[in-house]
Amino acid sequence: MREPVFRGVGTALVTPFMPSGEVNYPKLGELLDWQIDQGVDAVVILGTTGESPAVPTEEHIDVVAKAVEMVRGRIPVIAGAGSNSTAEAIDQTKRCTQVGADAILSVTPYYNKTTQRGLVAHFSAIAAATQLPIILYNVPSRTNLNINPETIAELSRVENIVAVKECNMEQIGATKALAEPDFAWYSGEDGQVIPLMAWGGSGVISVMSNVIPGDTHDLVTRWLDGDFDGARDIQLRTLPLIKALFAEVNPIPVKEALNLLGWEVGDPRLPLVPPSDATRALLAQALQDYGVARRG
């Protein structure tokens, strides 16, 4: 029986940059310590929220290695290592394995895309390149390609493909009925944590937990402990904040939210740009209404 990489909340962490554009490693350490202190159960380094498309391979591996070093085994470090090139995804996966990542988050191929048969070949080849558990990342809104339920079910029979971060909530029931019983689900939508958990999910890989890690953890923990009313109350309270955090393309708003809270994580890298004044005002109001305290 396979165990999930984690149960609860995995924060899809932003990558902090200095004004020069370089990775701000001291700030990365501060963010990791705070996330762990707030009770999150895992951290994803260089997923979409971490701006992986704008981080070249050598720097990518350095960031994962530094994160592993900083976390010191306190929670699992899940490394984003996907690509629309299978060879590149395999190379990143091998190198993330070598620097000590605990698991791999592997995104659906984008732009060139492939067939469902090609998805099985792509992810199976990646899985064969590592002993680490692999979490599939199904995000059709970004890749324009869905991993169909039958395909996820077939991949769930690969020993070290253990879970999916699912953003296509409409297919969870169909997939759950077909996949291996020890295959795990994580919500890829902050506003849909409870629906996924109701289908037997193991938690969320979250953007909002960059800003409210404690409450996000509390939401999932309450559900897992059977406090369904308490979990629902937290989920409902988070919805206006989630709306603000996705007012522009992720991670533009969440980085600005952290900056407004005094974390000084820097601007995103091009082609992403800082948010509009309207989005900044929306974020400031949402943070105030939620009651998120400014750092320090």
Polymer length of the chain: 296
Q: Residue written as tokens 């998120």?
A: 292
State the catalytic residues. Answer: 137, 165
Q: By three-state DSSP, how is residue 161 classified?
A: strand
Q: Residue written as tokens 């509390």?
A: 218
Residue 129 neighbours by CB distance under 10 Å: 18
CB contact at 8 A, 91 and 127: no
Task: Take residue 131 and report the two structure tokens written for it.
Answer: 């002993």
Secondary-structure percent of the chain, ordered helix, strand, coil, rounded to 5: 50, 15, 40
Residue of 173, 105, 104, 108 whose CA lies nearest to 146:
108
CB contact at 8 A, 150 and 178: yes
CB contact at 8 A, 28 and 15: yes
CB contact at 8 A, 254 and 14: yes
Strand (E) positions, the chain? 8-12, 42-45, 77-80, 103-107, 134-138, 161-166, 184-187, 203-206
CA atoms within a 13 Å half-sphere pointing along the CA-CB vector of 260 = 24
Exposed (0-12), middle (13-18) or buried (19+): which is 252, by Cβ within 10 Å?
buried
